[in-house]
Chain A
Amino acid sequence: MHYYITNNTSTEAVAIKDIPEVEYATLYNDLKERLKQEQYHVAHYFATPDENRLMFYIVLLDDKEHQIMLARFAMEYYDDIALPSLTALHPALHPFEREITELYNVHFGSMPWDKPLRFAEARRNRNSTIDNYPFYTIEGESLHEVNVGPIHAGIIEPGAFRFICNGEKVLHLEIALGYQHRGVESEFTSTNNRLRQTLLAESIAGDSAIAHTSAFAAAIERLSDNAISDSLATERIVALELERMAMHIADTGALSMDVGYQLGQVACEALRTMTINTTQAWCGNRFGKGLIRPCGTNKPLTKEKVEMILSNVEQISRRYAEVSDDIQSSPTLLSRFEHCGIVPQNEMQRIGGVGMAARASGLLRDIRSSHPWGAYNTEPRHDSCTMHDGDVMSRLKVRCEEVQQSAQRIKSLLEGYTTSEKHLRPDYECNLKPSHLSFGLIEGWRGEICHVALTDDKGQISTYKIKEPSLHNWLALALAVRGEGISDFPICNKSFNLSYCGHDL
């Protein structure tokens, strides 16, 4: 089958007419075989109205050849035929097919898990509401159900978890999401104010503001033929790695808290504070809001800020290394973290797991190495860190290593960094190419973030689709707790730390 081929270093958007339009059967047969190979996975797959038709776009990644492959197919808007489900063969596609069914009432034949994805405002079936989510049940005298949420015990976002337990042991966990649905994607298309769109990108998931806004900026820059300078690309990567450090440290602290390891908890709290205060001293916001802007920046790095970042990062990485050494030499912690919440590699691949959780299971999914952009595309190449056991400890160890890698990356990018070029200011007025498709593909701290923007014939954004890595990884969490004691759920959950608002949009 023929795809339009591009890659993550491309500075151009793709004319929609150049994307081959195929029959669904052709795509189905192609993906059926292709997705058996580890090198391929689907980064995005969605439908959008196109005059009186419904147009489906698929963004396929070839990790080995570093290619981004695009194709599309159409159906009449009111066609009532069921397309054969790809999820039935490759469960990794479940969130995409579920979204298409929820929004457009297109059914996929023999779809094994045909449930609402997020109870979006634009859903077709108005009788389907979040308080009557069809939870899976198992009959049995020795079984009981535990319902948690939507409001949880801590200060976190809402989501409903239903456990089916046999005694203390979890047989099945189902996670119902959608409580956080704000209508982010439709807000993108209901405004022409580019700054408003930028701030929407910053609020997709506040803990990944830098990653999501970087993806948005990349999509806009491709659409407006605004290739950014090397130094701006470098500064964005410094920001992205600071975000990764902050969140990995925060999660180390959260895991420590849940097993009663108070020393690690408070040490990590302090280190995270130091990391986000570094970001704040750079741009005025602890989460990096205001830092990433399309086509330029308001917050160029000055010599003083470079020095401040370098010295803080040096101290954070040293002190964090001491905490990780302590964790790895404490039998009481290891006995909680090891062999708990296992997701094996083949399972991770089957469900389409991405990011650091996939790497902890030995599945190499990392946009920094498979589809490098900016400074990741120059030497030294990013050497992704992978583990093998797929348990809580592996996910923690990936964090421990990646904090050091990020610190190293920041150091190598900023040591001796001076920029003589004058940074451009952000551009909120630039025209976008009409009838084009553009994308932003970034490895955030959780994993692969993929934004896709389509423009209409006047150059307005007509469709904006966001994929947060959590979309894939929530299922990994559900599988991780199978067979575990229910009291291990908190550490399994924290070891993934997935986004609710990024999923619910």
Chain B
Amino acid sequence: MIFPKIKVLHSHGWQYIPDLNDVTLTEEFRGRPELTVTEDMADVEAAAKLCPTGAISVAPFTLDLGRCLFCGECALRAPRNIRFTNDYKVGSTSREALVVTPETKQIDFHKELVRKEIPQLFSRSLKLRQVSAAGDASIEMELNATGNVNFDFGRYGVEFTASPRHSDGVVITGPISKNMAEPLEICYAAIPEPKITIVCGSEACSGGLFSQSKAIDRSFLQRHHVDLWLPGAPTHPMTFIDAVMNLIGKKQRQGNQ
């Protein structure tokens, strides 16, 4: 009975990513886009019309990652103007910073917006309560993955807890359905102060495909301060890890020069 286990262990080998600061995703991955203005913007107009969430504006030329679902179709429609890179570092403390312009070479984290008690209190231990408010399960699985054997974010003391009372903040996924609005509010109220709010996924940032749906209630975000905005459909574990490390002061992304 021990031999099958040794076999599993042997094949498993070492799986963890040794350095979470040194991760490059596959070229296929669609992360931060780069925009280029051309004389003729007809392709961009077509792409803006096609975009399922209205994330693209033509004049001025911008692409809002908080709405983008990273389907990549705009880049196929306007290849001279939009190109997706595999840069996964797209989280920010500022919702506005998610709007990519032709000048954007990096998403600005806006460190100055981090409340000063956050790195003081949470740099060595951050416990989070996740609330899915109509998330589609892919994003929940990616958050689970941040703690798995590959990413092992727990090595920095960042973990998810079962009870809001044991947590330092809430991670919200999904466009926030009406039917979850109240449970979310109750869960948030149960978290002791000071607490942080992370909005995870483009659907959570903007409502995504459901921003106009009558079954959605996003008033929570008007009532409470958001500390971190994370685009993605779903948000890649590395996007989450990178942004949270910046938030708790374990890492510094350069500004947008």
Residues of A within 8 A of B (CB): 119-121, 130-131, 150-151, 153-158, 178-183, 186-187, 190, 193, 195-196, 198-200, 203-207, 209, 250, 263-264, 266-267, 269-270, 273, 277, 280-287, 289-290, 298, 318-319, 322-323, 325-326, 329-331, 428, 499-501, 504
Contacts and interface: CB of A to CB of B under 8 A. Distances in A.
Contacts of A298: 72-73, 76
B59 interface: no
B180 A150 contact: yes
B28 interface: yes
A206 B209 contact: no
B210 interface: yes
A153 B162 contact: yes
Contacts of A205: 136-137
Contacts of A187: 209-210, 213
A215 B215 CA distance: 24
16 contacts: A121-B215, A131-B182, A150-B183, A158-B131, A158-B132, A182-B174, A187-B213, A199-B209, A203-B233, A269-B148, A280-B25, A286-B142, A298-B76, A319-B12, A501-B135, A504-B134
Nearest to A298: B76
A289 B177 contact: no
B197 to A, nearest CB: 16
Given A179-B133, A182-B177, A183-B210, 15 more contacts: A121-B213, A130-B179, A155-B140, A179-B183, A180-B179, A182-B175, A190-B212, A195-B52, A199-B69, A280-B25, A280-B26, A280-B29, A281-B28, A286-B234, A329-B1
Interface string B77-121: 000000010000000000000000000000000000000000000
A158 B183 CA distance: 10
B209 to A, nearest CB: 6
B134 A155 contact: no
B137 A263 contact: no
A154 to B, nearest CB: 7
Contact of B71 (A178, A277, A289, A329): A289
Contacts of B194: none
B5 interface: yes
Contacts of A319: 8, 11-12
A179 B180 contact: yes
A269 B138 contact: no
A181 B179 contact: yes
Contacts, number: 202
Contact of A120 (B51, B145, B215): B215
Given A158-B180, A273-B148, A326 B5 contact: yes
A194 to B, nearest CB: 9
Interface string B206-227: 0011101111100000000000
B160 A181 contact: no
Given A179-B179, A183-B210, A203-B209, A155 B143 contact: yes
Contact of B73 (A151, A195, A322, A326): A195
B50 A195 contact: yes
B30 interface: yes
B256 interface: no
Interface in B20-34: 25-26, 28-30
Contact of B8 (A277, A285, A323): A323
A322 B150 contact: no
B100 to A, nearest CB: 18
B177 A206 contact: no
Q: Nearest 10 pairs between A and B by C-beta?
A: A206-B138, A196-B52, A206-B136, A183-B215, A153-B162, A326-B4, A121-B215, A284-B28, A183-B213, A266-B149
B8 A267 contact: yes
A292 B78 CA distance: 20
B178 interface: yes
Nearest to A505: B215
Contact of B50 (A190, A290, A428): A428
A180 B177 contact: yes
B8 A179 contact: no
A335 to B, nearest CB: 13
B109 to A, nearest CB: 24
B189 interface: no
Interface in B171-209: 174-175, 177-180, 182-183, 187, 203, 208-209
Given A270-B150, A290-B71, A290-B72, A196 B209 contact: yes
A198 B133 CA distance: 22
